[in-house]
Amino acid sequence: MIRGTFVFLHRWVGLLMAVFLIIVGLTGSLLAFHHELEHVFAPEFYATPRPGVPPLDFATLMERAPPIPHARIIGAQWNGIDQAQINYRPEKDPATGKPYDLGFNQLCVDPWTGDELGRRMIGDYSKSSNFMRFIYKLHVALLVSGPGTLILGIVAVLWTLDCFNGFYLTLPVSFSGFWRKWKAAWVIKRGAGAYRLNLDLHRASGLWLWPMLFIFAWSSVMFNLRPLYDWTMSRFMHHYSILDEVMKLKDIPMRAAKPVPALEPRAALEAAQRLAAEQAKTQGHGAPEPTQFLYMEPFGVYMYAARSSAPRDGFLEERPSLITIDGDTGAPADVPFLRLTEKQELVDRWLVALHVAGVFGLPYKIFVCVLGLVITLLSATGVYLWWKKLEARRFRKRRGSSARAPRESLAAD
């Protein structure tokens, strides 16, 4: 009776999730090689690498960036070694009170010359250069931010629970000859028919890859239903809740917004770099490598992000440290909201890194790509098994009806 209930839940929860898991599985396979595929679909946005030649600093890139009517340059960032991005803020149209439409939201330049490589509107999926952005948006929000994220969060919760249910259903019903019977669930029988082959693929793939399937399911909950993730993790360990920290900040007075800072970008960048170097020296680290420089109008500060050369936590990349300085004076400025990113738990960082193939190099990228296909396979074989059992039930029902018909006819005579 209990096992039958779990079979029922596994069948119908699996059917409910199937389409969504096929979508995230296929798109996830592509996203494992996001950077490489971006070069394929949008090669014009990447410069030819120049080994041994240092790139220009952020201030120089901003000075060489093309002027855009009705927009101000507010920062620059690296998007890999062969692409830099200039960030613009559109001015408001006095007639409408709304920001001017610049016709793009990403402008990329050559890191070594500052020459423009291209500009595009991220979100315009009619352009082939946005193909990987389309795949990403489909993967994280089904192309609809908000409702799509919530749907995928619910699917992630069901997927996490079903990981345990599916594992339980592979176990033998009785303890007599337990290991001998369970061994059959781990292998794919050679020369089997279509139904048995699909059953073996569904069962054995889920067993062999169970730990990673669980990691991807639970990390999906972290991405899409963060409050539930934080609450659950806090039941098992001391866990930092981003939502709780955000609530604590609501009563802290915000810095005054300032549309245009008094400090020029080059002077601000030099001040931020000095602070970053002093901070690294105090901590016994080498000179940090810059990743982003941005003027944040809502806080009236320049934000400088630099990646430290400190020892790594295992295989994890060090998180960029943030330096914030007053946009008028260049003095250090405290922006508590920005410090939230520096408090991420180690377990959260590992889940993120494993989910986005950010560790272990090319071998792990290949593994994540294959795992996405396996997730698709598990969903497809599950639907096939349900369909074949449905056909069998319908066949038995028809046969039973045809067997009763002669007897009823004789009784009537």
Model pLDDT for residues 56-75, shown as the tens digit of each residue: 999 999 999 999 999 999 99
Of 51, 120, 52, residue with least CA distance to 85: 120
- This model's pTM is above 0.85: yes
Which of the four pLDDT bands, split at 50, 70 and 90, describes residue 410?
A: very low
Instruction: List the domain boundaries for the chain.
Output: 1-47+120-240+346-413, 246-343
pLDDT at 43: 96
What's the CA gap between 128 and 120, in Å, rounded?
11
What is the reported pLDDT for 183?
94
Q: How confident is the model at residue 2 (pLDDT cuts 50, 70, 90)?
A: confident
Host H or E run for residue 76: strand 71-78
- Asked whether residue 200 carries a pLDDT value surpassing 90, the answer given is yes
In the predicted structure, residue 79 carries a pLDDT above the cut 80: yes
Whether pLDDT at 101 is above 90: yes
SS3 of residue 369 by DSSP: helix
Q: pLDDT tens across 151-164, in order?
A: 999 999 999 999 99
State the pLDDT at residue 309. 56
Query: Are the CB atoms for 18 and 150 separated by under 8 Å?
Result: no
What percent of the chain clears pLDDT 70, i.e. is strictly above it? Answer: 94
Q: What percent of the chain has pLDDT over 90?
A: 70
Looking at residue 315, what DSSP letter applies? Answer: T
3-state secondary structure of 203: helix
339, 321 contact by CB (below 8 A): no
* Res 239: pLDDT: 84
Q: Of the spans 152-166, 319-333, 337-351, which averages the highest pLDDT?
A: 152-166
Q: Give the pLDDT score at 209.
A: 97
Q: What is the per-residue pLDDT for 404?
A: 62
Q: Between residues 307 and 21, which one has the greater pLDDT?
A: 21
Confidence of residue 240 (pLDDT cuts 50, 70, 90): confident
DSSP 258-291: -SS-SS-HHHHHHHHHHHHHHHHHHTT--PPEEE
The whole-number average pLDDT for the span 229-248 is 84
Do residues 103 and 118 touch, judged by C-beta distance below 8 A?
no
